[in-house]
Amino acid sequence: MSGFMSFLALALMAAVAAVLLAGLLNMMRNGPGNTSQRLMRARVLLQGLAILAIVIAILIARSNGS
């Protein structure tokens, strides 16, 4: 289970990086501000999910080690 959570955390971190890059590209092209806001909200949500997945993976790894 810890392996799955580690994979999930990595996938979420990759998604955060992709949304961050999309936001930067939108900003560089002087894209619509509404799009920037949606991308920022998506990034914050994905960062929260990534942190949650990392914490769960650590807790699972600790419980398996004891």
User: Structure tokens of 36?
Assistant: 């920037």
| pTM for this predicted structure | 0.83
For residue 66, what pLDDT band results from cuts at 50, 70 and 90?
low
pLDDT in tens, 1-44: 668 888 998 999 999 999 999 999 999 999 898 999 999 999 99
The Cα–Cα gap between 48 and 33 comes to 23
Distances (CA, A) of 58 to 17, 19, 29: 22, 25, 40
Show the beta-strand stretches assigned E in 1-66: none
pLDDT for 52: 93
